[in-house]
Amino acid sequence: MKNLVECRKLEAKFRQLAMSDPTKRFLWLVEAEKWEREAEAEIASHFEAGNAVRTTGAIEPITTKSSARS
């Protein structure tokens, strides 16, 4: 999650630069969007990792119980 915080900090920094430096506004907004995508990718990876753990945990007891019955 540390990486997510850093991504969000950089995104906010570049959005602030876009507001304070209108001559390079487009450049700063492009950079902010890059960090926004990085943050979203970081969040997605955490969800994928969490779902993999839950799925594995849910399947193991069912497999164990059905094996014990046979």
What would the two tokens of residue 32 be? 């902010």
pTM of the model: 0.66
Residue 51 banded pLDDT, cuts 50, 70, 90 = confident
- Cα separation of 6 and 10, whole Å? 6
Give the pLDDT confidence score for residue 62 in this predicted structure: 55
Tens-digit pLDDT profile for residues 23-33: 999 999 999 99
pLDDT band at 47 (very low <50, low <70, confident <90, very high): confident
* Angle between helix 2-20 and helix 25-69 axes, rounded to 10 deg: 160
Q: Which of residues 21 and 48 earns the better pLDDT score? A: 21
> Structure tokens of 11?
């995104």
